[in-house]
Amino acid sequence: MEPTHPIAQDDALPPAATSGHASERKVTIGDVAARAGVSKSAVSFVFNGRSGVGSDARERILKAAHELDWRPDARARALSRSRAQALGLVIRRDPTLIGTDPFFPQFVAGVESYMSTVGYALVLQVVDGEAAEQEAYARLAGEARVDGVFLTDLRVDDDRPSQLGALGLPHVLLGTDRRSDSPGIGLDDAAGIRRAVRHLHALGHQRIAHVSGADRYVHSRIRREAWEGEMAALGLDPGALVEADFTGRAGARATHELLDHPEPPTAIIFSNDIMAIAGMSAAADRGVRVPQDLSVVGFDDIPLAPYVFPALTTVRQDVFAWATACARSLVAIVEGNEPVPVTLPSVEFIVRASTGPARPLSDARQGAPE
């Protein structure tokens, strides 16, 4: 409070400021330095955690900064360090459909929770097509708005990793792409699906169908392949497969298609909860009871999953932890540090009421309430 250093202050005031009446001028590092009676670099050093400032000086600096309520201006910092201290996430999705996705908000929350602890900002962009997406990355890179980006919704033979490479934009992949040598962090989707298949098998199900997402997405494909693989491993006949697109509409349609079959499945594993819930409704619509006539498994464990009727058996991934790991990893990359090895929690399989024992094959025809 009292021990201000007026002399030093006057010294540091830029000549220009003495003219006007300096009431509303933004407080800068110079003001802090002056008030603490040190040089600007001393202040800078303290705020960047570098050594080379005596503890008494450091003390005064911190105090002065606090009294002045000063924080380093992110823009100036970004310019002089040639680093934006921001990471980008561009989401390519039909804007009207974006509300469908339980993944996105959780991912954002997870990423942000780590980033804010290290002073990074998250820059978000929503685009709705190939061209717009490319332009978005080009701009983020060209304008140097961000230091790196997260790449989501990985596709099979995705060429975005190499495009990002060409732009010189550091990135992490949400998922893994063997083709690319970009670092990728993925959850073990396959394990969840395998557990679902085994669970149903243990309940006596033989005809286990799968409703997948679009096969061009890596995560859709992984889930589908896991289902196929586990069916084979258990010695079951390959089940019916319908490719859908993760929407409720497609889930309902796929379910009808499967149930129209002369030998309909006794269980369906959906590639996400939305489709699974829509599928249960489709079943209910035609008098097929879940789980008596048909067992249903979802994927994601959306917040609504326990509160639909019957409560949905599903696979839960810890998206938040995943996102945190991605953020940690990307920050390490852009700062040129050793990437920290990540250990992700494994997926959980949550058994609720939508799965039950298979009926004896003989009377497994649907639509026959007692």
Residues 282 and 242 sit within 8 Å (Cβ to Cβ): no
Using CB under 8 A, pick the residue from 86, 151, 164, 327 that binds a second copy. Answer: 86
**What is the enclosing helix (H) or strand (E) of 174?**
strand 171-174
Least separation in angstroms between CB 153 and a second copy: 14
**Residue 97 contact partner, candidates a second copy, DNA, none, CB within 5 to 8 A by sort of partner:** a second copy
Q: Which of DNA, a second copy, none is residue 208 near (CB under 5 to 8 Å by kind)?
A: none
CB atoms inside a 10 Å sphere around CB 80: 9
Joined together, the tokens standing for residue 170 give: 């550091």
109 with 320: CB under 8 angstroms? yes
**4 lines the binding site for a second copy (CB under 8 A):** no
DSSP 200-229: HHHTT---EEEEE--TTBHHHHHHHHHHHH
Q: Residue 186 gets which letter from DSSP?
A: -
Q: Decide if residue 140 touches DNA (CB under 7 A).
A: no
Which one of residues 5, 9, 30, 123 is an interface residue with DNA (CB under 7 A)?
30
Per CB under 7 A, the list member of 3, 6, 7, 79 interacting with DNA is 79
Which three-class secondary structure state does DSSP give residue 22? coil
Strand pairing partners for 95?
Answer: none
- Rounded distance between C-alpha atoms, residue 294 and residue 364, angstroms: 9
Instruction: CB nearer to DNA: give 337 or 343.
Output: 337
What does the alpha-carbon distance between residue 292 and residue 172 come to, in Å, rounded to a whole number? 44
Query: Does 191 participate in binding a second copy (rule CB under 8 A)?
Result: no
Among 173, 277, 297, 326, binds a second copy (CB under 8 A): 277
CA distances for 12 relative to 35, 274, 320, angstroms: 9, 62, 47
For position 165 contacting DNA by CB under 7 A, the verdict is no
Distance of closest approach, residue 154 Cβ to DNA, in angstroms: 32
Structure tokens belonging to residue 319? 């998206």
Residue 130 interacts, among DNA, a second copy, none and using kind-specific CB cut-offs from 5 to 8 Å, with none
Q: Tell me the β-bridge partners of 350.
A: 314
- Residue 247 in contact with residue 100, Cβ under 8 Å? yes
**Shortest spacing between CB 67 and DNA, in angstroms:** 15
Answer yes or no whether residue 14 interacts with a second copy by CB under 8 A: no
Handedness of CA 143, 147, 150, 154 (dihedral sign): positive
Using CB under 7 A as the binding rule, whether residue 85 contacts DNA is answered as no
**48 touches DNA (CB under 7 A):** yes
Binding mask 279-318 for a second copy (x = CB under 8 A): -xxx-xx----------------xxx-xxxx-x-------
Residue 195 binds DNA, judged by CB under 7 A: no
Q: What is the DSSP letter of 132?
A: H
Interface ranges with DNA (CB under 7 A): 14, 16, 26, 28-30, 37-45, 47-48, 51-54, 57, 70, 72-73, 75-77, 79-82
Interface ranges with a second copy (CB under 8 A): 69-79, 84, 86, 91, 93, 95-106, 108-110, 112-113, 116, 121-127, 136, 139, 142-145, 247-249, 251-252, 274, 277-278, 280-282, 284-285, 302-304, 306-309, 311, 319-320
